[in-house]
Structure 1
Amino acid sequence: MLFNSIDFAIFLPIVFVLYWLVVQKSLRLQNVLIVVASYVFYGWWDYRFLGLILFSTLIDYTIGILLQKTSIEKQRKALLWTSICVNIGLLGFFKYYNFFVDNFVEAFSFFGREIQPNTLNIILPVGISFYTFQTLSYTIDIYRRKLKPTKDPIAFAAFVSFFPQLVAGPIERASNLLPQFYKKRQFNYSNAVDGLRQILWGLFKKIVIADNCAQFANVIFDNYTEYSASTLWVGAIFFAFQIYGDFSGYSDIAIGTSRLFGFNLKQNFAVPYFSRDIAEFWRRWHISLSTWFRDYVYIPLGGSRGSKWSQVRNVFIIFIVSGFWHGANWTFMIWGVLNACYFLPLLIMKKNRMHTDVVAANSSLPTFKEIASIGLTFGLTLIAWVFFRSDTVVQAFDYVLRMFQWTFFSVPESRPRYLIILLMLFITVEWFGRRQLFAIEKLWLSYPRWVRLTIYYVIVITIFIFGGKEQEFIYFQF
């Protein structure tokens, strides 16, 4: 079920009314309703994969309890590795089986040996990368004795399958989300209004920005050999805003929807395109995944401790794994390697923590130095996005090489005026709302009520004007 569909527009009010008017007095019934609603939400796409979520839920719920019952380290490690192997095994089978088989066959073909591949027609379950990491963090934290296991199977099932963030995050930690299922929730009008405002902004990002950018980005990438270098840069810019509007839009809708039901999810994006270096970008882009890899992969490897070689190794591992998480294609791993190369100079010169506050924190406009830093960071990000978007590594390298031809100084063939105006307005709103959890969280609140309502209605009308066919969110495929 898509957030930008008629189905969800009907589904959400029904669940909301049942949640607050029918089962409000019983915390357990509220949690049961969330589980049922979440399974309906997920099963709307393909009911056959509900068994995977249920299986992961039962495995990690049971392992969590067993970890608490034993203090023998060998048994605890065996339980932890059971959870890791089962979860990563399922993820690996559905997401990477054909990738490894195809590359195995190609490797033997290179040495003159022909092998008949035994690939399968595997359908990738939506959101498996997200809920797999969410359940893994639960068992890992219990193993580390940072978290006590729950004995409430309904609350745990609700935590794993919570429908607002089930298929594309944010990837929540049990330490933040799970305790919220234990506490009685009261309807809060102010939180609900804030949630609706965040949903509205998320829909604007997805339908108006991402979907319209996608139309032009797809044409340029699919026919890139026919365009000038300047147009290829425009295509990369359109894709950059497509993936940002699409994914951060999903996160805004997910977080806003959660607030309607009395839950608080972690911020997942913090205006990443205003970053002054790549390290800052990765602190602001897909925060829930970046911090997951930091806490469960990077730090256990040694992090930034140890020799320079160890630090370099850890950086490459974390970015390559992050790239591989996104999909079974070499383009994603090259994307990860590029970001590692961008990050390394900052790490070596110990400047990777130089920008921890928001840009122009005490002024309304950035300095020339900040503008230059933002421009350089955005330019490097665009080159990396080309690999993320391209179907093959060869196509990606060819696209990038063509971006630096002499036609860079020509007028781009594709420059839709309406979309350029929309992007300029969007960037302006994001800039003035850069200090907030989402851009319009507190913008215009000092204005009279009729002015605020007028602005919100304009956003709604804009969504209907520029909205077309329902389009899936990009990160559904990951």
Structure 2
Amino acid sequence: MLFTSLEYFFFFSFVFLYRWYVHPVIFKNEQTSRPVLHVVLLVLSYVFYMSWDYRFGALIFLSTIIDYYVALKIVDTEQVKIKKAYLVFSLVTNLVFILGFFKYYNFVGETINQLASFVGYDRKLIPFLDIILPVGISFFTFQSLSYTIDVYRGVIPCERNFVRFALFVAFFPQLVAGPIVTAKSFIPQLFTKLSFDAIPFRVAFRYIILGYFKKVILSDNASPIVDIIFANPENYGTVASWFGVVLFSIQIYCDFSGYSDMAYGSALLLGYELPENFRMPFIGFSITDIWRRWHISLSTWIRDYVYISLGGSRNGYLRHKFNLWMTMFVAGVWHGAAWTFIAWGVGNAMMLVLESVLKDFKNKYIHFDYSFLIPFLNVLRFVYAYSTFIMFGGIFRSESIGKAFTLVTNLYSFSEGTMLRPYMLKIGIPIMLVTAIGHYLGYLIFDKKIQIKVSPVLEFLVYPTLILLFSFLTNDNEMPFIYFQF
């Protein structure tokens, strides 16, 4: 059930009408109304998730019941060793038996078989299994796991109501592609009494329309061009290769942030607020800065539950750099079972460490006034950050390590190859310009805090016009969101 489909439109319309027009009429007592609403939203969230495959419901229920039970045991047990044993049980179950099996079993098995073959062992040690990858499995396992860790750390109280906890794990707007929500930010909202008049409809519709535009108009129209270039990178020279990686960076940004925007707007219409997930990432002046703006909920999760757990910056200089490297490596592995994802994670990790080392060097040794150079340096920093980020993105998108190597070689070899077709330029360049303008407007609104006032009447007229326009510009083939595979 894609956010951009008519199926979702009717599904969400039903949820919205029930939430605000049916439920308050049937259940007027607050003590009865709230628990019943949570049950209904939970059931509808499972219906939403099981629309892909009915078996997915059993998997998310398994993850939910394990972490619910483990958290109860952690709180009810006084012995530290037993608390830790329960936490380890949750970690192993979620990361090895659920996420590890469904997402990494065949990749690890194939790697072991290749190594065995390399040393002369002909038989396959690990059999290949025809495993269906559940949609959004990395999102809900990380989300559920964060709750258990927070309870163990004493950051949040244990949620003893199973329905509330299960709704936190399965809330449908953000279930299959984030943003990753923490229990301390979501569960308290379930206790908040919110009236229909308090819903910021204008804000919600802005996010939904913007997300739809990013996904359907920009990302989906960029997709066929990106597919052609990345299918045979050896055919294209330097200019075409750069065109491809720039367009892919926009495609995946518009696809993923478009989903996040639509999720944010959908949740807001139901009375709940999700965390910000993107903040104009392409205006970052370093890889570190871009990662503060890109998939913020994942970056925050890895910082809170990997980087800090490893010791953060507390255990010496080299350990700090190792912890930085490891957090980004985990991000690469999280994205999927392929050497291209691992190479992407390692590359970003190396740049994060390098930038941290250079920052330490600057703070220690460079004390003269170079403010007059800042405008020039900012241009260089932007070019470096964006070109490096999208180069690694090219590795991420490549179908194999071999094709990734070919692509990266083409980027810097000043080679010639197959010319870009005119239709690629006619579609690709406007998409790039619209994305650049969007980033600039976002920079003015969110970074510079410049208010752009729009008349409610004008918005009322613009939204139907945009929807009508989208219907003409929509790609005929309905495309799933890229991050569903993660």
Q: TM-score, normalised by structure 2?
A: 0.90
Moved more, 459-468 or 151-160: 459-468
Map of 1:52 onto structure 2: 59
Match of 2:149 in 1: 140
Q: Which residue of 2 aligns with 1:81?
A: 88
CA 1:447–1:15: 2 relative to 1, 3 Å? closer
Q: Residue 257 of structure 1: CA displacement?
A: 0.5
Question: CA separation in 1, counterparts of 2:397 and 2:210?
Answer: 25
Note closer, same or farther for the CA distance 1:155–1:353 as it changes in structure 2 (3 Å cut): farther
* Whole-angstrom distance in 1 between the partners of 2:484 and 2:2: 10
- Cα pair distance change 1:438/1:220, threshold 3 Å: farther
Partner Cα distance (1:202, 1:7) in 2: 17
Of the structure 1 ranges 424-433 and 78-87, higher mean CA displacement relative to structure 2 is found in 424-433
Q: Out of 93, 115, 118, which is 1:110 matched to?
A: 118
Structure 2: distance between partners of 1:307 and 1:97: 36
SS at match of 2:415: helix
Q: Note the alpha carbon deviations across 1:337-387, whole angstroms, 9 max, x for none.
A: 111121122211336999xxxxxxxxxxx9554333222211001110111
Choose which of 298, 306, 317 in structure 1 pairs with 2:307: 298
Report the Cα distance in structure 2 between the residues aligned to 1:120 and 1:188, rounded to whole angstroms: 52
Correspondence 1:389 to 2:389: no
Q: Distance in 1 between matches of 2:128 and 2:446?
A: 44
Q: Give the drift of 1:60.
A: 1.2
Which range moves more in the overlay, 150-159 or 168-177? 150-159
Give the equivalent residue in structure 2 for 1:36.
43
Q: Is the 8 A contact 2:247 2:432 kept in 1?
A: no
Question: Measured at CA, do residues 443 and 2 of structure 1 come closer, stay the same or move farther in structure 2, by a change above 3 Å?
Answer: farther
Aligned pairs, how many? 465
* TM-aligned CA deviation for residue 164 of structure 1: 0.2
Retained in 1: the 8 A contact 2:302–2:327? yes
2: distance between equivalents of 1:326 and 1:319?
A: 11
Instruction: Confirm or deny: 8 A CA contact 2:257 2:278 kept in the other structure.
Output: yes
Once residues 239 and 420 of structure 2 are traced to their aligned partners in structure 1, the CA distance between those partners, rounded to angstroms, is 5
C-alpha offsets along residues 199-228 of structure 1, whole Å, 9 cap, x if unaligned?
Answer: 110011111111111111001111222222
On the 8 A contact 2:236/2:416 being kept in 1, the answer is no
Q: Is the contact made by 1:217 and 1:239 (CA closer than 8 Å) also made in structure 2?
A: yes
Cα distance 1:93–1:13, how it changes in 2: closer, same or farther (>3 A)? same
Contact in 2 for aligned 1:91/1:132 (Cα 8 Å): yes
The one-letter code sitting in structure 1 at the alignment partner of 2:484 is: F
Aligned to 1:467: 474
Q: Deviations over 1:130-185 (max 9, x none)?
A: 00000111010010011101121111111110000000100000000011112223
In the alignment, the residues of structure 1 paired with residue 45 and residue 362 of structure 2 have an alpha-carbon distance, to the nearest angstrom, of 39
2:13 aligns with 13
2:383 corresponds in structure 1 to 375
2:446 is equivalent to residue 420 of structure 1: no
Is 2:45–2:172's contact at 8 Å kept on the other side of the alignment? yes
Deviation, structure 1 residue 322: 0.9
Listed one character per residue, the Cα deviations across residues 13-45 of structure 1 (whole Å, up to 9, x for unaligned) are: 111001111213411121111101101100100
Residue 359 (structure 1) aligns with? none
Pairing 1:77-476 to 2, within 5 Å after superposition:
77-88=84-95, 89-116=97-124, 117-188=126-197, 190-350=199-359, 367-407=375-415, 412-413=420-421, 415-434=424-443, 436=445, 444=452, 446-468=453-475, 469-476=477-484
* Cα distance between partner residues in 2 of 1:36 and 1:443: 40
Q: What's the offset of the Cα at 1:189?
A: 5.3
Q: Output the CA distance in 2 between the equivalents of 1:59 and 1:43.
A: 20
SS in 2 for 1:23: helix
1:47 counterpart letter in structure 2: Y
Query: Match of 1:202, as an amino acid?
Result: G
Shift of residue 62, structure 1, vs aligned partner: 1.5
**Residue 312 of structure 1: SS of its match in structure 2?**
helix
- Counterpart CA distance in 2 for 1:219 and 1:197 is 33
Q: d(CA) in 2 for partners of 1:12 and 1:435?
A: 32
Q: Which residue does the alignment assign to 1:64?
A: 71
Q: Secondary structure of 2:54's match?
A: helix
**Structure 2 gaps, min length 5:** 364-373
Query: Which whole-Å CA distance do the structure 2 matches of 1:6 and 1:353 have between them?
Result: 54
SS of 1:124's equivalent?
Answer: coil
Structure 2 distance, partners of 1:448, 1:299, is: 46
Helix, strand or coil for the counterpart of 2:254? Answer: helix
Residue 473 and residue 134 in structure 1: after superposition, are their counterparts in 2 closer, same or farther (change >3 A)?
A: same
Given that residues 444 and 450 in structure 2 are in contact (C-alpha distance below 8 angstroms), is that contact kept between their aligned partners in structure 1? no
Q: Measure, in 1, the Cα distance between the counterparts of 2:17 and 2:450.
A: 27
Cα distance in structure 2, aligned partners of 1:120 and 1:304:
41
The residue type paired with residue 122 of structure 2 is E
Between the two proteins, what is the percent identity of the paired residues?
Answer: 38
Deviation at residue 442 of structure 1 after TM alignment: 8.6
How big is the shift at 1:407?
3.5
Taking the aligned partners of 2:46 and 2:105, their CA distance within structure 1 comes to: 26
- Secondary structure of residue in 1 paired with 2:55: helix
Q: Could you tell me how far apart the structure 1 residues matched to 2:201 and 2:465 are? A: 20
TM-superposed CA distance for 1:325, in Å, is 0.6
2-structure distance, mates of 1:442, 1:7: 38
Measured in 2, the distance between the counterparts of 1:435 and 1:180 equals 30
1:105/1:385 CA distance change after superposition, 3 Å: same
Note if contact 1:279-1:352 (Cα within 8 Å) is conserved in structure 2: no
Is the 1:278–1:343 contact (alpha carbons within 8 Å) kept by the matching residues of 2?
yes
